[in-house]
Structure 1
Amino acid sequence: MGFSDTGAGSDASRATAERMLAAVAHRGPDGSSWCHHRGMTFAHCALTFVDPDGGRQPFVSASGATALVLNGEIYNHEELRRELRATGARLRTASDTEVLVELYERHGMKVLERVRGMYAFVLHDARTATTVLVRDPMGKKPLYYARVPGGIAFASELTALLRHPDVRATPDVRALAGYLTLQAFCAPDSAVADVRKVRPGSCLEYSGGRLREVEYWRPRLTAEGRPPGRREAAARFEELFRAAVARRVTSTDRRLGVLLSGGLDSSAVAAVAQQLSPHRPVPTFSAGFEAHDFDESAHARAVARHLGTEHHVVRIGGRDLAEVVESEYARADEPLADPSLLPTRIVCRAARSHVRGVLTGDGADELLLGYRYFQAERAIEILLRLMPAPRLEALVRTLVRRLPARSGNLPAAAALGLLARGLRAAPEHRFYLSTAPFGPAELPGLLRPEARAALAGHDPFAEVSRLLDGQPHLTGVQRSQLAVVAHFLRDVILTKTDRGGMRSALELRSPFLDLDLVEYGNALPVSLKLRRFTGKYLLRRVAADWLPGDIVRRTKLGFRAPLAALLREELRPLLLDTLSASALDRGGLFDAGAVRVLADDHLSGRRDTSRKLWALLTYQLWSQALPVHSPSPDCLDLTEEPHRAP
């Protein structure tokens, strides 16, 4: 984190840095430091994986011209270090941070073409009086910023930025509308009007009072040349996947674990990770839900036995989930309406007592069309060629009524039923309209008139349209895939993994989101990802040599929380108190009558409105805690003296 500072590292600057660092102390328990660098104050709290002594941040280049703070890790730092030394560079440490800053001084922003990792970093180049904010291509690490008098302020978490004296905690109503549809405050918006997020794959350059955005990478699904055959594609996919896992495991001497759900994706990651550690079992962690329909722990245990990992099952009941909400959600960085954050937090807390980093299977469903929605989208794409949308909608609803129902997760009937809600929409909108807590048409009835006025001209899908621009020949399935990547992966899933892990200083690494693997997957035709109506075709083919056949063939269950029951039982008192008429009146955003109907319907069992109530509860718990001003005195140990660049 940091901010423009003409005070040359004054006591006031140090006090601001300490306040901001206190808000993110949970992210880095390995020490804190700060420095003033020619008009900028930088601060950092460390969770170290590479050269903990030499790589202390903020880091200043050998020339003294550039200061940098890095959140995350550059996985290919050893390769890049060898290249630097071959050019005559004399490096002082073994850290990835030094490699990054020295490469920047030699190549400028072209360094982004070479680095591979999960990162958000900010640097100040005194040669040009330019501050640059950068976020990795997939958006694995968060980066917030705000304009302040005399410059810019930035932080890895919104809570830290709100402790800067010139950043106001005013809710952004237009961004709230997007949250209620998309489940997250999606970049470049944030929950606060004065604060923005750096987009994934983008850098912001601040100089001379002006801010310029440069997008250096965006997902493209256009294949070039002749598509490979199945055997060739499988061999290349396996090569890149193995390399992706190895990059994350071998870039550090720290022991890493795997979050193992028992599904195909995390099982494949665990298999390769264990192959890379033949003489020592890899720690694996899974959730064991009391609610049977949500529990995959038996599958995870079977995979762990097959691979020979050191397996840990974390038992989770309704009271455990409620405790996370009651103890953490009022202090959450920003509202997120994905209930799977709850079990993620619990498993991550348990994993942190064994390791400081874990691998996950996140990204495989988006890269390789694994969600049931893509199967349904393929069916809709075919059927719309044969019949008009109204007739197809009626057919789907009839089919849904005849398919067996189940209370847990998302079987085919539920996926088809949800998609039917958005059947007449564009393919890139259907996923969100089918899963939205509140569709755009529902918002006027939910918001008070004064809040409703801010919605004029609001388009929750503007960022999706921006990413589709320049890719006019995509199929419906491809347009849907790109839309899911745009927000559900980057703003929901990756926000969940960062927040779920880093609240306990546990770093989550996602091999399926390795840039080389992503670009290869994006260039493949749909038929090599979704074969007939089976998703993740290449992964299933490759993993057949590593995993039991029933795991490879399993239908995806997903990682969710028993939300409907939780709101009716353990969280009922908190729900009624937080969404009471008096509490909503104080917030001034939501119509108390409309919210009361949703709560009464759900608590009485008339209909399941849990997704709507969860989005409202999560937001209200956060907004009621605004503004945040004072740090917890016992959460920051800033013992080092400030050091200034030469």
Structure 2
Amino acid sequence: MCGFAGFSDAGMTREDMRTTAEHMLAAVAHRGPDGAGRLHHRGVTLAHCALTFTDPDHGTQPFVSASGATALVFNGEIYNHAELRAELRAAGVALRTGSDTEVLVELYELRGTRMLDRLRGMFAFVLHDARTGTTVLARDPMGKKPLYYTRVPNGIAFASELTALLRHPAAPRVPDLGALADYLVFQAFCAPASAVRGVSKVRPGSCVTHERGELRETEFWRPRLAPGTGARRGPGLREAEQRFEELFRAAVARRVTSTDRRLGVLLSGGLDSSAVAAVAQQLRPGQPVPTFSAGFVDPDFDESDHALAVARHLGTEHHVVRIGGPDLAGVVESELAYADEPLADPSLLPMRLVCRAARAHVRGALTGDGADELLLGYRYFQAERAIELLLRVLPAPRLEALARQLARRLPARSGNLPVAAALGLLAKGLRASPEHRFYLSAAPFTPGELPGVLTPEAGAELAGHDPFAEVSRLLRDQPGLSQVQLSQLAVTTHFLRDVILTKTDRGGMRSALELRSPFLDLDLVEYGNSLPTGLKLHRFTGKYLLRRIAADWLPPAVVRRTKLGFRAPMAALLRGELRPLLLDTLSTASLRRGGLFDTGAVRLLIDDHLGGRRDTSRKLWALLVYQLWAESLTARPRASETPAYPALS
């Protein structure tokens, strides 16, 4: 894993190039502690910091092709680089190193951007082709690695993180109100937008080319589902089990065996991460795999006993990271204001603490991310299936009232989302279309609530804004999908790509810890997407295939367990350890300086939550995270920090 930055440098002095590159790269120094480099390549300056896994002695970046025509900076890993290396050699290319970086640059010179279809891995990279003057920015299909860019007077600037891009002297610094509206609904700034107007993110599965002053976007992959819901439209159960297990084992093996460095597993004790740990341990017999889990002081959030039971069953080297309110508050106060851009998922806090502890033992770890989206594991999908069936016999108003009634009668608790809460949240969005329902049920603010929390001036700029535009784009040309399938693709669009994977990347890379997600292996994803819904959500049992496969590896209690989720006790934190920060950051004076949020509406949310009248923690957390970032945007020095590395030559 790495970090990089760069910019078109026509008209700049060498000193300006060097200084700008140093200050941009210093902002992502945490992503690559193994060294840094800079290169001026015929009109483009490239800078890179490394966290090495493959051929660290010869894959130094920026990397230049044997012809000298193409230069590259790359963040990620290409898991099938050995296969691609063989193809290059068969085509007569003489390779000089064993690095996947060289494979990328030489494959581009051989095939151009068509080579993107052949890559299997996680990546964000920028290459400059001096033959045509073209700069190519590309991001992997799932969006595991971030990539930002903006126009500058002499071309473009780009970086692994927004913080680095904003250190370019010509970068814009005005908040994007449309993107802010999306953030308040989705909890994240969703590609292709960013928190700053004029700064874009490369979409997952896309490349952006800059040539002769023009930007052009090309999508090379998007998620597609096989139409229909029945189990008869596809392979039989046994065949699907065999193929899925084969692909899953290969996905874990790609990530474990592609490096000589020791890898761990982030183990929650749930089915997904336990299955990953099981296969990882099978690949290293006699060598206990390091596993890491969060142990929350609040018992409603703690799954550490389950993780410990799995670790003992598998024989891993297990570590529990004990987390209390002061630990979570410490992450907020020490780091959140300087985060890349706002992310309102509270689980980023414990993720950050677990990754920090894991980095003391390993440089990389596997996760169970992606299984719930791929195999319909969330309770929302079970509720969506129930809605799909019940709407055939009940009108929507009657079903909405029934869901609320059931939610009131079922046992409730204050920890991770139980069935009652899932029903209650879904009831709020029941009359919406399936592809919107997941977000409307769980959004900090629904689109209809935004005018009430924003100032009239800010709200006026959002007239006609559609937060679901990207969801609609990905659903285009995919007819015949069931309600569950529409919900699945919508959840993948933003919750997986923009929330979960942003959290994973940020939580790990702040500690220079590389996180790898086998369930998001492209071959496995494409096979899972081709399967009928009934093989993934069997009646009301999600992750049906995985449960059957993992029954031979894990204790029955783990295979049968209902997902709890990885969350932080935000309601209690805002009333306790974070109360002073909340009151200061969302004070009337602070909000007036920003000029975006209605002070009276925010004050009411605070009073209701602190007074115990209602839980407004999701709304307050989203506002707090954004306001911390917005204040740092204006206060953060742009060119005075000492670079994290010696001066780049």
What range is the shorter-chain TM-score in?
over 0.9
| 8 A Cα contact 2:233 2:532, kept in partner | no
The 5-angstrom pairing of residues 154-173 of structure 1 reads 154-173=158-177
Q: For 1:399 and 1:611, locate their aligned partners in 2 and report how far apart those are by CA, in whole Å.
A: 23
AA paired with 1:89?
Answer: V
Q: Secondary structure at the match of 1:626?
A: helix
Partner of residue 508, structure 1: 515
The structure 1 residue matched to 2:451, chosen from 444, 456, 460, is 444
Report Cα offsets for 1:501-538 as digits up to 9, x if no partner. 00010011000000000000000010000000000000
Partner of residue 277, structure 1: 284
| 8 A Cα contact 2:71 2:127, kept in partner | yes
Report Cα offsets for 1:555-579 as digits up to 9, x if no partner. 1011000010000000000000000
Report Cα offsets for 1:190-224 as digits up to 9, x if no partner. 00002010000000011011100000000000269
Distance 1:84 1:550, change over 3 A: same
Q: For 1:297 and 1:84, locate their aligned partners in 2 and report how far apart those are by CA, in whole Å.
A: 47
AA paired with 2:396?
Answer: A
User: In the alignment, does 2:435 pair up with 1:431?
Assistant: no
The structure 2 residue matched to 1:76, chosen from 69, 77, 80, is 80
| 8 A Cα contact 1:22 1:631, kept in partner | no
The structure 2 residue matched to 1:208, chosen from 188, 209, 212, is 212
The structure 1 residue matched to 2:606, chosen from 599, 610, 624, is 599
The structure 2 residue matched to 1:55, chosen from 56, 59, 62, is 59
AA paired with 1:426?
Answer: S
Partner of residue 259, structure 1: 266
User: In the alignment, does 2:143 pair up with 1:139?
Assistant: yes
| 8 A Cα contact 1:421 1:433, kept in partner | yes
The structure 2 residue matched to 1:390, chosen from 372, 397, 404, is 397
Q: Secondary structure at the match of 2:633?
A: coil
| 8 A Cα contact 1:23 1:631, kept in partner | no
| 8 A Cα contact 2:227 2:479, kept in partner | no
| 8 A Cα contact 2:294 2:303, kept in partner | yes
Partner of residue 429, structure 2: 422
User: In the alignment, does 2:379 pair up with 1:355?
Assistant: no
Partner of residue 624, structure 2: 617
User: In the alignment, does 2:545 pair up with 1:538?
Assistant: yes
User: In the alignment, does 2:125 pair up with 1:117?
Assistant: no
How many Å apart are 1:8 and its aligned residue? Answer: 7.1
Q: For 2:155 and 2:410, locate their aligned partners in 1 and report how far apart those are by CA, in whole Å.
A: 59
Q: Which range is displaced more, 239-248 or 80-89? A: 80-89
Q: For 1:422 and 1:194, locate their aligned partners in 2 and report how far apart those are by CA, in whole Å.
A: 32
Q: How many positions carry a matched residue from both structures? A: 641
Q: For 1:52 and 1:634, locate their aligned partners in 2 and report how far apart those are by CA, in whole Å.
A: 26
AA paired with 2:637?
Answer: H
AA paired with 1:187?
Answer: A
Partner of residue 644, structure 1: none
How many Å apart are 1:87 and its aligned residue? Answer: 2.4
Partner of residue 268, structure 1: 275
AA paired with 1:137?
Answer: P
Distance 1:206 1:133, change over 3 A: same
Q: For 1:291 and 1:9, locate their aligned partners in 2 and report how far apart those are by CA, in whole Å.
A: 56
The structure 1 residue matched to 2:237, chosen from 230, 252, 264, is 230
The structure 1 residue matched to 2:571, chosen from 559, 564, 571, is 564
| 8 A Cα contact 1:72 1:119, kept in partner | yes
Q: For 1:399 and 1:93, locate their aligned partners in 2 and report how far apart those are by CA, in whole Å.
A: 62
AA paired with 1:454?
Answer: E
User: In the alignment, does 2:647 pair up with 1:629?
Assistant: no
Partner of residue 337, structure 2: 330
| 8 A Cα contact 2:18 2:648, kept in partner | no
Q: For 1:95 and 1:557, locate their aligned partners in 2 and report how far apart those are by CA, in whole Å.
A: 40
Q: For 2:430 and 2:578, locate their aligned partners in 1 and report how far apart those are by CA, in whole Å.
A: 34
AA paired with 1:264?
Answer: L
Q: Secondary structure at the match of 1:285?
A: strand
AA paired with 1:120?
Answer: A
Partner of residue 520, structure 1: 527
* TM-score calculated relative to the size of structure 1: 0.98
Partner of residue 379, structure 1: 386
| 8 A Cα contact 1:288 1:295, kept in partner | yes
Report Cα offsets for 1:409-456 as digits up to 9, x if no partner. 111111010000000000000000000000011111111111111111
AA paired with 2:644?
Answer: L
Q: For 1:578 and 1:108, locate their aligned partners in 2 and report how far apart those are by CA, in whole Å.
A: 49
The structure 2 residue matched to 1:300, chosen from 307, 313, 316, is 307
Q: For 1:365 and 1:90, locate their aligned partners in 2 and report how far apart those are by CA, in whole Å.
A: 43
| 8 A Cα contact 1:118 1:141, kept in partner | yes
Distance 1:38 1:492, change over 3 A: same
| 8 A Cα contact 2:23 2:641, kept in partner | no
Q: For 1:631 and 1:276, locate their aligned partners in 2 and report how far apart those are by CA, in whole Å.
A: 47
Q: For 2:192 and 2:279, locate their aligned partners in 1 and report how far apart those are by CA, in whole Å.
A: 35
AA paired with 1:458?
Answer: H
| 8 A Cα contact 1:264 1:552, kept in partner | yes
The structure 2 residue matched to 1:319, chosen from 322, 326, 330, is 326
Q: For 1:543 and 1:7, locate their aligned partners in 2 and report how far apart those are by CA, in whole Å.
A: 59
How many Å apart are 1:232 and its aligned residue? Answer: 0.4
| 8 A Cα contact 1:260 1:270, kept in partner | yes
Q: For 2:641 and 2:172, locate their aligned partners in 1 and report how far apart those are by CA, in whole Å.
A: 22
Report Cα offsets for 1:581-614 as digits up to 9, x if no partner. 0000111000110000000000011100000000
Q: Secondary structure at the match of 2:207?
A: strand
AA paired with 1:70?
Answer: F
| 8 A Cα contact 1:8 1:39, kept in partner | no
How many Å apart are 1:89 and its aligned residue? Answer: 1.7
| 8 A Cα contact 2:22 2:648, kept in partner | no
Partner of residue 43, structure 1: 47
Q: Secondary structure at the match of 2:75?
A: strand
The structure 2 residue matched to 1:487, chosen from 490, 494, 512, is 494
Distance 1:632 1:154, change over 3 A: same
| 8 A Cα contact 1:135 1:199, kept in partner | yes
Partner of residue 110, structure 2: 106
Q: Following TM superposition, where does structure 1 have runs of at least 4 consecutive aligned residues deviating by more than 6 angstroms? A: none
User: In the alignment, does 2:406 pair up with 1:402?
Assistant: no
Q: For 1:458 and 1:472, locate their aligned partners in 2 and report how far apart those are by CA, in whole Å.
A: 25
* TM-score calculated relative to the size of structure 2: 0.98
Q: For 1:85 and 1:303, locate their aligned partners in 2 and report how far apart those are by CA, in whole Å.
A: 44
| 8 A Cα contact 1:198 1:204, kept in partner | yes
How many Å apart are 1:636 and its aligned residue? Answer: 1.5
Partner of residue 153, structure 1: 157
How many Å apart are 1:635 and its aligned residue? Answer: 5.0
| 8 A Cα contact 2:227 2:480, kept in partner | no
Q: For 1:114 and 1:9, locate their aligned partners in 2 and report how far apart those are by CA, in whole Å.
A: 39
Partner of residue 459, structure 1: 466
The structure 2 residue matched to 1:243, chosen from 250, 253, 263, is 250
Q: For 1:37 and 1:90, locate their aligned partners in 2 and report how far apart those are by CA, in whole Å.
A: 22
Q: For 1:78 and 1:633, locate their aligned partners in 2 and report how far apart those are by CA, in whole Å.
A: 40
Q: For 1:7 and 1:637, locate their aligned partners in 2 and report how far apart those are by CA, in whole Å.
A: 26
How many Å apart are 1:301 and its aligned residue? Answer: 0.3
- What do you get for the CA RMSD once the two structures are aligned? 1.2
Q: For 1:176 and 1:140, locate their aligned partners in 2 and report how far apart those are by CA, in whole Å.
A: 22
AA paired with 1:629?
Answer: P
Q: For 1:192 and 1:143, locate their aligned partners in 2 and report how far apart those are by CA, in whole Å.
A: 14
| 8 A Cα contact 1:187 1:196, kept in partner | yes
Q: For 2:80 and 2:647, locate their aligned partners in 1 and report how far apart those are by CA, in whole Å.
A: 32
How many Å apart are 1:9 and its aligned residue? Answer: 6.6
Q: For 1:226 and 1:368, locate their aligned partners in 2 and report how far apart those are by CA, in whole Å.
A: 17
Q: Secondary structure at the match of 1:535?
A: coil
Report Cα offsets for 1:320-376 as digits up to 9, x if no partner. 000000000110110000000000000000000011100000000000000000000
Partner of residue 551, structure 1: 558
